[in-house]
Amino acid sequence: MPELRKDPILGRWIIIARERSKRPTDFPVDTSVTGGGFCPLCPENEKTTPNEVLVYGREPHQPANSSGWKLRVVPNKYPALVIEGELDKQGEGLYDRMNGIGAHEVVIESPNHADQFAFLPHEQMMLTFRAFQERIRDLSHDDRFVYVMVFKNNGKAAGASLEHTHSQLVALPVMPRMLAAELEGSKSYYTYKDRCVFCDIIRQEIQQNIRLVCENERFVTLAPFAPRTPFEMWILPKKHNSSYVSQNEASLADLTRIFSETLRRLDACIPGIPYNFVLHTQPLQSGALDHYHWHFEIVPKLTNIAGFEWGTGFYINPMPPEDACRYLRQVEL
């Protein structure tokens, strides 16, 4: 019997269609890559990107945009939004528009072209999570922006147009719809219960222990109750906190550990699986929120899934999260 499940935050309904259930190896994966030829993100090619806005690991006496770095953040050469100008909000009859002001940056997570994010050494991966903090903090000083979207497209099927491992930041002048809905949903839960819905979820998941993929001192990885795709996972801090930026070094280290473990478990289930991850954190100009809880969502991109989901917001998922969780836990790392 298939099952309908409602995400308690967004009110989004999901069909768990057990009858369509598959083993991980039944999913076809396009492991072809985009690369070959010239890579603008590789060392020695620094001059082909716009000037870096953050760098880690280069000797202080070396010039900017030279090699010898461990991580670079550069503006996207083909930005979806541009940094200079005014919003200039206007109407056109019944429509509303404004200029596409924003920042669009690329985090080059390693100098080595062949590295995969999931398998970066601890110190190297941690630089990425630190760079996210530092860039969000910097962009928050620009009061045209209300939110910084941090995400990674890993693999061609998940939208990556360059093979070299990287993630992206987009600073936005309007709130993305998904986050607005999440803030609204968690606020209304808080108003009713006087508790954070994410804290309640973490408490219930640790107790039930059927969708808990892994944990360490400060973090948990869950297969969410109403996942959009097979192997969707959320990584959340155990202690209530609405701001990614406010994390200390110990928390960043624990985040890096659980992120690495989570992605390696996923990759062991479906080698080369394409995925997106998205950081969900409080809006730039808001203070600490009692009802919101920052986290990462990891959404694998499996071909031949999706279809009408896209146009309707109604997802059909062939794999119950409890099954996905079992596969993920069985992995020996």
Check: CB of residue 211 under 8 Å from CB of residue 223. Answer: yes
**Per-residue x/- marks for its own copies, 218-237, CB under 8 A?**
-------xx-----------
**Per-residue x/- marks for its own copies, 270-289, CB under 8 A?**
------x-x-----------
Q: Does 330 bind its own copies (CB under 8 A)?
A: no
Q: Which stretch binds its own copies (CB under 8 A): 73-81, 111-119, 133-141, 283-291?
A: 73-81
Of 59 and 88, which CB lies nearer to its own copies in the complex structure? 88
Q: Which of 45, 62, 68, 80 binds its own copies (CB under 8 A)?
A: 80
Could you tell me the strand order of the sheet in which 212-215 lies? 54-56, 71-75, 103-108, 166-172, 147-154, 275-280, 295-300, 233-237, 219-222, 212-215
What residues from 240 to 259 belong to the interface with its own copies (CB under 8 A)? none
Closest contact distance (angstroms) between CB of 87 and its own copies is 8
Three-class DSSP category at 215: strand
DSSP code string of 248-270 = -HHHHHHHHHHHHHHHHHHHHHS
What residues from 18 to 57 belong to the interface with its own copies (CB under 8 A)? 19-20
Which secondary-structure segment (H or E) carries 170? strand 166-172
Of 8, 78, 7, the C-alpha closest to 40 is 78
Point out the residues that are catalytic. Answer: 166
| Cα-to-chain-centroid distance, residue 38 | 27
Closest contact distance (angstroms) between CB of 132 and its own copies is 14
| Cα-to-chain-centroid distance, residue 244 | 12
What residues from 127 to 146 belong to the interface with its own copies (CB under 8 A)? none
Q: Which stretch binds its own copies (CB under 8 A): 39-47, 64-72, 118-126, 311-319?
A: 311-319
